[in-house]
Amino acid sequence: MASNRVRLKDIAEVYGCSINTVSKALRNSEELPESTCKKIQAIAHNMGYIRNRQASSLRSGRSRIIAVIVYDIHNAYFSSLISEIELELRRSGYDMMIFCTQTTTAEKERGIEMIQIALSQSVDGILYFPYWTDQANIQYLESSRVPYVLVGHWLPDTDSDCVRCDDYAGGRLAASHLLALGHKKFVYIAGMDSNSAQHDRESGFRDVLSSAGIPASDVLTIPGKLWDWANENGTVRELLHLETYTAIFTFNDNIAYQIIKHFRNLGIRIPEDVSLVGCDHLRRSVDYLENLTSIACDENFSLARESVQALLNRIQQPDRPRKTTLLPVKLYDEHTTQRPECQAGRITG
């Protein structure tokens, strides 16, 4: 069956030149006059020519494509970050392919499948957003010898380039902020255990509270799975009604905004009745969201830019030492916290 794909030969016949001349014109070769390049490029465009990247990569050894493998593109934090990554890659002359596993840690083979598909496209490198249990996937990446960088999270017992925000310091910042306001009773709503940021944020939060003499009994932790169930089934009041507290710290802003919605329906005001701090500062990229005090990377640093640069460095210098880049965080105070004595009353059952 004949292919309808436009070939260099077809363009050469229309213009009346050699295939080699067409190839040079499409690459803006300095061996040809600029006017000739533009004429041939216009013909190629009008004919619907699409460059065969795989053939080009075989000749040059580079595809100029970077794969991004992420597990949750529905999350506004990841979608905003990936948008920034695409801009950074474009500035550096690369295109991006996105692979979303849309999976849980119980389906680890999905991550391997995405890596295999990316490798089959001859990508020059991979930006990988890992689960905490993705060691097998990273070992597979290592064996492929394709440059890669872990983005956002770290993996135990894994020696890889990694770029992430200082989540432990973020947990400490949240605790310090709430302690400075005078809070003594806390709830921490956790993320999923498969996330290294969850462990770091909770550890930082608890370490500061413990150092301040806050007993563990005054810090209620609600596991991520339990919160998800309550959020989906409308049982938030039942989940929290036996506790007395004045401040909530959440693993991320998604959870914090869920709390705002449920509390509004329950007649509970923020911060008049309870203080609330989240993580990720989604309002920085989604400005129509309502105000929320949140912890995130300092705006003077870019997780997207640093991740792309780390990968380009690895592509250019395959044997360079592995490096973890830890970006500083800050608290963005949007006034969803206040001193407990100013609150109308604690939340009780």
Kindly report, residue by residue over 197-250, the tens digit of the pLDDT: 999 999 999 999 999 999 999 999 999 999 999 988 888 888 876 567 899 999
Whole-structure pTM value: 0.82
What pLDDT shows up at residue 55? 55
| Domain 65-164+300-325 CATH class label | alpha beta
Q: How far apart are alpha carbons 342 and 265 in whole angstroms?
A: 22
| Lateral strand order in the sheet of 275-279 | 219-222, 186-189, 247-250, 275-279, 294-297, 329-332
pLDDT: which is higher, 50 or 286: 286
For residue 259, pLDDT beyond 70: yes
Contacts of 94 (CB under 8 A, 6+ apart): 64, 65, 66, 124
Count of positions (residues) in the chain:
349
21 pLDDT tier (thresholds 50, 70, 90): very high
**Highest mean predicted confidence (pLDDT) among 143-152, 168-177, 285-294:** 168-177
- DSSP class of residue 159? -
What pLDDT shows up at residue 283? 93
Q: Which of 266-270, 286-290, 323-327, 340-344 shows the lowest per-residue confidence on average (mean pLDDT)?
A: 340-344
Q: What are 179-208's pLDDT values in tens digits?
A: 999 999 999 999 988 889 999 999 999 999
For residue 10, pLDDT beyond 50: yes
CATH of the domain spanning 167-298+332-342: 3.40.50.2300
What pLDDT shows up at residue 234? 84
What pLDDT shows up at residue 243? 60
2 pLDDT tier (thresholds 50, 70, 90): very low
What pLDDT shows up at residue 56? 53
pLDDT: which is higher, 62 or 348: 62
Q: How far apart are alpha carbons 252 and 280 in whole angstroms?
A: 6
Average pLDDT rounded to a whole number, residues 77-100:
92
Do 167-298+332-342 and 65-164+300-325 have the same topology in CATH?
yes
40 pLDDT tier (thresholds 50, 70, 90): very high
What pLDDT shows up at residue 277? 98
pLDDT: which is higher, 57 or 27: 27
Domain ranges of the chain: 8-51, 65-164+300-325, 167-298+332-342
What pLDDT shows up at residue 345? 53
In 3D, which of 137, 139, 72, 73 has the Cα closest to residue 108?
Answer: 137
- Percent of the chain having pLDDT more than 90? 59
Mean model confidence pLDDT for the chain: 88
Average pLDDT rounded to a whole number, residues 269-285:
94
What pLDDT shows up at residue 344? 59
What pLDDT shows up at residue 58? 46
Burial of 118 (0-12, 13-18, 19+ CB in 10 A): buried
Phi-psi region of 188 (alpha: psi -120 to 50; beta: other; left: phi over 0): beta
What pLDDT shows up at residue 1? 36
